[in-house]
Chain A
């Protein structure tokens, strides 16, 4: 019986325009499109900034060797000299001469530091300031090396050389671990919203539920068939989203940064990830079906389900915050736990105790909600709709006395 209902539901879903849009097209197309647009805009923005020279005015009190160092730089700096000026006249001068940065000494003494004036509200000025900082850092290191060498016979060159020990793979997974878990939870849950409303509320509205319930179909078989069909659509949305997200990051990451990264998920973690997706889909969809069952029609169901969705997915955002650990405590927080669990899987650090706690707690929630759904969604309730007093009477007895 279960298989007959499941087959019918899936056939209906795959022929439903709205379900196809929300469960298949949206997960595949949304993120590539968003990332592509953002990538194009940022490439355009930063690309044009990169190609623009930085217009720098250097006051006559700035040390000459520093100016020479700036002029020798490979960076595209257009350096001009300006006479000594008061601090108060820098801003109007910067605007009048259409400059990005003005450099001057803060006082009259050689000991006084050099000041860099810039406009933080202008991208071009910010870019010029960053370039100056980079060149002056090199200048400072060179000066320091010269001083050390003049004091010590075997002076050691002081230079900062960054050596990133993280592999290309682990850097990619770190980035993926921040983005993917939150989005997978959001999309998996979103993929089940429309089918959750469709299977009970819409069917009751169209009276097809009544027709089916008059047939010798068991209520358990019917609910289970519908439930598994909704989970299937939800899981499909989640899996498609993971694939779409990885491909998107591989091929359209901002500014070509993907050249140095390799986005993939450890194959060995895929079964655990699939279990996580199925459990989050099952738990959320059981809740959605139950809530939607109270509504008289599709629109009312949407207004009930949408706030639950909006609030419910908030804890998933936590995984995107750096420094939140996946441990036995965070594994007890619903939704946050599955999000952190996905992050640990993607980053290849499987923590078994929190993993077991997370999966067990999700399973417990799922069983509780399903049992509740099975108790509530009896034939009477499926036909007439759920009402508050029905919950009381069904959960605590006296069904016929109250008349449901």
Chain B
């Protein structure tokens, strides 16, 4: 469902020159699978996700979502995709109901079909109490629920989550993860980017660890343990980063 092949993205900075944010990255993610994209800040996670979401053009390589090429068929890619970031990206002066309507209409939905989809999402995410309250007045947890509902409005086969629990309290974060697991069960292809190890261990079927734009390792937890000889994900991560700081060594 997601196929990334030798993907690269180079930024140009007047002082630092060319910066390879993503360098020959390759991986796949299947339907009904959650693929974790793990890496430190500046690893190239957000750039990769932005390329997959057609927000940025790649400097090289190819990427496909739901069988559609991100460069050649960007509209079809966007129609197949639900994208959620930590910033929620909700219009502050619109209500959740109006936001769902707006994004539904942008996705070509209308009339009774759109109305019943909005009602279903409001019920599913339990947002009926504040469905007609402007988003600027909602709490972070409420906003995140609305954001997830917004990303799912057209029932897309592919979902991309970019650090969706940043800034949320424990309960809101748990609710978000529960919703993601539920959608995995419904057969969605989910790419989950984060730097929170515990979330990756709980949620992801496979994990891709990237550093400085390059893929360091990819596989299930078991495969990564075999590859690095470490037991915990944090140790696996440090081992692959080459920092020498491991869970056992730092004693935390």
Binding site for B on A (CB under 8 A): 1, 4, 8, 11-12, 15-16, 206-208, 210-218, 379-380, 383-384, 389, 399-400, 402-404
Contact A4 B92 (CB under 8 A): no
Contact B78 A1 (CB under 8 A): no
A400 / chain B contacts, CB cutoff of 8 Å: 57, 59
The 9 closest A-B pairs by CB, nearest first: A211-B89, A207-B87, A403-B12, A214-B83, A15-B93, A216-B78, A403-B10, A207-B89, A215-B106
Q: When chains A and B are docked, how far (Å) is the Cα of A64 from the Cα of B83? A: 99
B76 / chain A contacts, CB cutoff of 8 Å: 216
User: Interface-forming stretch among B97-105, B122-130, B188-196?
Assistant: B97-105
Contact A380 B90 (CB under 8 A): no
Given A4-B106, A383-B55, answer yes or no on A210-B89 (Cβ-Cβ < 8 Å). yes
CB distance from B86 to the nearest CB of A (A): 9
Contact of A214 (CB < 8 Å), options: B9, B78, B91, B108: B78
The residue of chain B having its C-beta at the shortest distance from the C-beta of A12 within the complex is: B93
Q: When chains A and B are docked, how far (Å) is the Cα of A53 from the Cα of B108? A: 79
Contact B91 A404 (CB under 8 A): no
Given A16-B93, A207-B85, answer yes or no on A215-B107 (Cβ-Cβ < 8 Å). yes
CB distance from A233 to the nearest CB of B (A): 14
CB distance from A43 to the nearest CB of B (A): 43
Contacts A206-B87, A214-B83, A379-B56 aside, 7 further interface pairs with beta carbons under 8 A come to: A4-B102, A11-B94, A207-B88, A379-B54, A380-B55, A399-B57, A403-B59
Binding site for A on B (CB under 8 A): 9-12, 14, 18-19, 50, 53-57, 59, 75-76, 78-79, 81, 83, 85, 87-94, 98, 102-103, 105-108, 134, 150
Q: When chains A and B are docked, how far (Å) is the Cα of A218 from the Cα of B75? A: 8
CB distance from B88 to the nearest CB of A (A): 8
CB distance from B95 to the nearest CB of A (A): 10
CB distance from B171 to the nearest CB of A (A): 23
CB distance from B203 to the nearest CB of A (A): 21
The residue of chain A having its C-beta at the shortest distance from the C-beta of B13 within the complex is: A403
Contact B94 A214 (CB under 8 A): no
CB distance from B242 to the nearest CB of A (A): 27
Contact A403 B11 (CB under 8 A): yes
Given A206-B89, A208-B90, A403-B11, answer yes or no on A380-B81 (Cβ-Cβ < 8 Å). no
Given A211-B150, A214-B54, A216-B79, answer yes or no on A8-B14 (Cβ-Cβ < 8 Å). no
Q: When chains A and B are docked, how far (Å) is the Cα of A389 from the Cα of B18? A: 13
Q: When chains A and B are docked, how far (Å) is the Cα of A383 from the Cα of B83? A: 14
Contact of B14 (CB < 8 Å), options: A12, A213, A214, A389: A389
Contact A216 B55 (CB under 8 A): no
- Of the candidates A11, A16, A379, A403, the one having the most CB atoms from chain B within 10 angstroms of its own CB is A403
The residue of chain B having its C-beta at the shortest distance from the C-beta of A211 within the complex is: B89
Contact of A208 (CB < 8 Å), options: B11, B19, B81, B91: B91
CB distance from B92 to the nearest CB of A (A): 7
The residue of chain B having its C-beta at the shortest distance from the C-beta of A4 within the complex is: B105
Q: When chains A and B are docked, how far (Å) is the Cα of A380 from the Cα of B21? A: 15
A383 / chain B contacts, CB cutoff of 8 Å: 50, 55-56
Contact of A380 (CB < 8 Å), options: B14, B53, B56: B56
CB distance from A387 to the nearest CB of B (A): 9
Given A206-B89, A206-B92, A211-B150, answer yes or no on A216-B106 (Cβ-Cβ < 8 Å). yes
CB distance from A214 to the nearest CB of B (A): 4
Contact of A11 (CB < 8 Å), options: B9, B50, B93: B93
The residue of chain B having its C-beta at the shortest distance from the C-beta of A13 within the complex is: B93
CB distance from B136 to the nearest CB of A (A): 9
The residue of chain B having its C-beta at the shortest distance from the C-beta of A214 within the complex is: B83
- Of the candidates A1, A214, A403, the one having the most CB atoms from chain B within 10 angstroms of its own CB is A214
A16 / chain B contacts, CB cutoff of 8 Å: 93
B55 / chain A contacts, CB cutoff of 8 Å: 210, 213-214, 379-380, 383
Q: When chains A and B are docked, how far (Å) is the Cα of A217 from the Cα of B103? A: 9
Q: When chains A and B are docked, how far (Å) is the Cα of A212 from the Cα of B88? A: 11
Contact B106 A212 (CB under 8 A): yes
Contact of B94 (CB < 8 Å), options: A8, A218, A404: A8
CB distance from B179 to the nearest CB of A (A): 17
Given A4-B105, A403-B11, answer yes or no on A215-B78 (Cβ-Cβ < 8 Å). yes
**30 A-B pairs, CB-CB below 8 angstroms?**
A8-B94, A8-B98, A11-B98, A12-B93, A15-B93, A16-B93, A207-B85, A207-B88, A208-B89, A208-B90, A210-B55, A211-B90, A214-B55, A215-B103, A215-B106, A216-B78, A216-B107, A216-B108, A217-B78, A217-B106, A218-B75, A379-B54, A380-B57, A383-B50, A383-B56, A384-B56, A399-B57, A403-B9, A403-B11, A403-B59
Q: When chains A and B are docked, how far (Å) is the Cα of A15 from the Cα of B87? A: 22
Contact A210 B91 (CB under 8 A): no
A403 / chain B contacts, CB cutoff of 8 Å: 9-12, 18-19, 59
Q: When chains A and B are docked, how far (Å) is the Cα of A8 from the Cα of B134? A: 13
Q: When chains A and B are docked, how far (Å) is the Cα of A256 from the Cα of B105? A: 56
CB distance from B56 to the nearest CB of A (A): 6
The residue of chain B having its C-beta at the shortest distance from the C-beta of A222 within the complex is: B106
CB distance from B10 to the nearest CB of A (A): 4
A208 / chain B contacts, CB cutoff of 8 Å: 89-91
A218 / chain B contacts, CB cutoff of 8 Å: 75
Contact of A404 (CB < 8 Å), options: B12, B103, B106: B12
Given A216-B106, A402-B12, answer yes or no on A12-B94 (Cβ-Cβ < 8 Å). yes
Q: When chains A and B are docked, how far (Å) is the Cα of A217 from the Cα of B50? A: 16
The residue of chain B having its C-beta at the shortest distance from the C-beta of A8 within the complex is: B102
CB distance from B97 to the nearest CB of A (A): 12
A402 / chain B contacts, CB cutoff of 8 Å: 12
Q: When chains A and B are docked, how far (Å) is the Cα of A215 from the Cα of B91? A: 14
The residue of chain A having its C-beta at the shortest distance from the C-beta of B21 within the complex is: A403
B105 / chain A contacts, CB cutoff of 8 Å: 4
